[in-house]
Chains A and B, each alone.
Chain A
Amino acid sequence: MRTIPSTKISETVRKMCIQAACELPRDVSDALEKAAAEEKSPVGRDIIERIRENVRLGREEQRPICQDTGVSVFFIQKGCDVGVDGGTLGNAINTGVKLGYEDGYLRKSVVRHPLDRVNTKTNTPAVIHFEEVEGDKLTICMMAKGAGCENMSRLRMLTPAQGEEGVKDFIVETVKKGWANPCPPVVVGVGIGGTFEVCALLAKKALLGDLGEKNPDPILARIEAELLERINNLGIGPQGLGGTVTALGVRILAHPCHIASLPVAVNMECHAHRHVKVTL
C-alpha cells in the first residue's frame, strides 16, 4: 500500500487555499472573456471589464479576488491502494486550511455554531466529502465557496409527474429569485435525482465541471444549453443591473432515484468561481 505523509497533504492544501483565492481558473476567465464580447448593456460591459481587471490583478499581485474567501469545500477521491501516514485525512486537510488562510491573509469566515456565531478564526472546520475509488492516487478538489451565492441556493422535492419541465422551471425560478444577490454572471450547479441529501451534494459537485466542456450525458447537455438561454433571456445581467449575460454556464449532474421522487437542487455560484484540483 502506498502511503502519503499527512504533512504533505496539509502543505498541498495550504497552497491550494491560497491559489484558489487569488487565481481564477482558466475555464472561468475564458467564460468571462466570452461574456465581455457578448454583453449588450453598457453598464454590464463596464462591470465585466472591471471583473476581468480584478481577476488579472488578483493573479499578478497574489491578492484574493473576492474578500469572501469562503467556506473551504473539499471533494476527495481516495484510491483504495493509498493511505495517509501520520493521522486522518480529515485532520490533514483541516491543518492545511488553517495554514493557508493564515499565511495567505485570507478572510476567516467560519463561525463555530450557527446560532452563537463565534468566529473560529481559522476558517475550519472545512466541509469535506470523501469518495473511495480504484487505484493508488489521492485527488483533492477544493472550492472556496462564498456565502452571497450559497444563500441563494434552493432544493425542492418535485413529483415525477412534474418531470423535465418542472425541473427546468424550478431552476430558472431559483436564478430569478436570487437576482443580483449571488453576484451574476453566475454559474448554476444543478443536481437532479438521488435522495434529499444526494441531490444537494450533486448540485455542488456539478460546479466542479469544466465550463468549456460539454456534458457527456446528451440529455443533460441539451437541458444545460436550453437553460442557459432561458436564464440569459431574463435580462438580469451582470450584478443584476440589467444585461444579456446572467449566467456563465449551467452544469447538471443526475443520479438514480426512487419511483416516487424527483428531487432537484440548485447550488448558485458567483462569477468568482474559485476551484483547484490536485492529484497526489
Chain B
Amino acid sequence: MSNDMKKITTPLTSEVLEDLKIGDRVLISGVMYTSRDAAHKRMLDALDRGEDLPADLAGQIIYYVGPTPAKPGEVIGSAGPTTSYRMDPYAVRLMEIGLKGMIGKGARGPAVIEAMKKHGAVYFAAIGGAGVVIARSIKEAEVIAYDDLGPEAMRRIVVEEFPAVVANDVHGGNLYEVGYKEFRKD
C-alpha cells in the first residue's frame, strides 16, 4: 500500500479538518459511532422530542455500517460501508449539533455538501465490499443503543488505522465531481 497516507485520530479537531483535502488517503484511529437508516431515524426523532442522543457527537465521526453478526471470539463481523445517500435526510441536523465526520460509500446530495462546508465537516469514502479488511481495523465494538434493530443497532467502536479516502472536504471539494475527469474518454 502507498506510504502517502495521512494518519488522523478522533475526535477531529478543526486543524485536522482544515488540512484534509479530497483524494487524501487517510488512516483513522480512535472512537467512532456506527449508525445507518433506522438508527438515524430514531436519533432525529429523539432530537425532535428534545431528548439527548445515545452519544455526544461533537467532533465525532459516524460510520454508516450494518455489520454481520460477530462469530464467537470476534470483535465484530464483516463491516464495510453502506450507501450514504440514504442518510442524507438526517445528516444536516447531526452536523448542526457538532458531527464532524461521516464514513460511507457513494456521493452525497447538495444539501449535505453545503452543510459540510458550513459546519466544517468531512465525508470519507470507505471501500464498499471490503468487509473483512475493514473489520480488522475495528478493535472494540459495543452496542450503545437501539439493540432491537439488530445489524442496524448503534455501536461505539474503537478503530486503528481504518482506511478511507477524503471524498468531500471542508473547502467544498467533491471527489465524485472531479475524480473521473482525468480518466474520462469522450
A270 to B68 Cα, complex, angstroms:
18
A183/B105 in contact, CB under 8 A:
yes
- A241: interface (CB < 8 Å): yes
Interface 9-mer from B9-17, B47-55, B87-95, B130-138: B130-138
- What is the number of contacts between chain A and chain B, taking CB atoms within 8 Å? 164
- A143: interface (CB < 8 Å): no
A45 to B135 Cα, complex, angstroms:
21
A236 to B179 Cα, complex, angstroms:
8
Which residue of the partner chain B has the closest CB to A183? B128
> Which of the residues A43, A181, A239, A243 comes within 8 Å of B25, measured between beta carbons?
A43
- A194: interface (CB < 8 Å): no
A57 to B80 Cα, complex, angstroms:
14
Interface 9-mer from A62-70, A131-139, A164-172, A204-212: A62-70
A63/B69 in contact, CB under 8 A:
no
- A202: interface (CB < 8 Å): no
A64/B78 in contact, CB under 8 A:
yes
Chain A residues lying within 8 Å of B68, measured Cβ to Cβ, are: 63-64, 67, 69, 105-107
A66/B129 in contact, CB under 8 A:
yes
In the complex, how many angstroms separate the beta carbon of A146 from the nearest chain B beta carbon? 8
A105/B83 in contact, CB under 8 A:
no
A148/B183 in contact, CB under 8 A:
no
Q: What is the interface residue range for chain B against chain A?
A: 35 or more
> Which of the residues B1, B79, B135, B182 comes within 8 Å of A242, measured between beta carbons?
B182
Interface 9-mer from A1-9, A46-54, A256-264: A46-54
Are A50 and B127 also in contact (CB < 8 A) when A43-B23, A43-B165, A108-B151 are?
A: yes
In the complex, how many angstroms separate the beta carbon of B161 from the nearest chain A beta carbon? 13
Are A241 and B176 also in contact (CB < 8 A) when A63-B77, A66-B80, A179-B106 are?
A: yes
A98-119 interface bits toward B, Cβ cutoff 8 Å, 1 = contact, 0 = none: 0000000111110000000101
B129/A237 in contact, CB under 8 A:
no
Interface residues of B in 169-186 (CB under 8 A from A): 175-176, 178-186
B127/A67 in contact, CB under 8 A:
no
B176/A233 in contact, CB under 8 A:
no
- A41: interface (CB < 8 Å): yes
A57/B69 in contact, CB under 8 A:
no
A111 to B155 Cα, complex, angstroms:
21
Chain A residues lying within 8 Å of B101, measured Cβ to Cβ, are: none
A59 to B51 Cα, complex, angstroms:
45
Question: B79, B80, B85, B130: which has the most chain A beta carbons within 10 Å?
Answer: B130
- A218: interface (CB < 8 Å): no
A239/B125 in contact, CB under 8 A:
yes
B65-79 interface bits toward A, Cβ cutoff 8 Å, 1 = contact, 0 = none: 111111100000111
Chain B residues lying within 8 Å of A237, measured Cβ to Cβ, are: 179-180, 183
Chain A residues lying within 8 Å of B67, measured Cβ to Cβ, are: 67, 107
In the complex, how many angstroms separate the beta carbon of A39 from the nearest chain B beta carbon? 9
A108 to B77 Cα, complex, angstroms:
13
Question: A63, A117, A241, A272: which has the most chain B beta carbons within 10 Å?
Answer: A241
- A240: interface (CB < 8 Å): yes
- B29: interface (CB < 8 Å): no
- B82: interface (CB < 8 Å): yes
> Which of the residues B23, B106, B132, B136 comes within 8 Å of A181, measured between beta carbons?
B106
A15 to B167 Cα, complex, angstroms:
38
A227-249 interface bits toward B, Cβ cutoff 8 Å, 1 = contact, 0 = none: 00000011111011111100000
B105/A181 in contact, CB under 8 A:
yes
> Which of the residues A50, A63, A243 comes within 8 Å of B163, measured between beta carbons?
A50
> Which of the residues A42, A57, A61, A67 comes within 8 Å of B79, measured between beta carbons?
A67
Chain A residues lying within 8 Å of B178, measured Cβ to Cβ, are: 242
Given contact pairs A47-B127, A233-B186, enumerate 9 new A-B contacts (beta carbons under 8 Å): A57-B136, A67-B68, A105-B71, A148-B106, A179-B107, A181-B105, A237-B179, A243-B183, A271-B129
Q: List 28 A-B contacts (CB under 8 A).
A: A43-B23, A46-B1, A50-B1, A57-B132, A58-B132, A63-B132, A64-B77, A66-B80, A66-B128, A66-B130, A67-B65, A67-B131, A68-B66, A105-B71, A109-B151, A119-B150, A121-B150, A148-B83, A180-B106, A181-B85, A181-B107, A183-B129, A235-B181, A235-B183, A239-B105, A241-B167, A242-B179, A242-B182
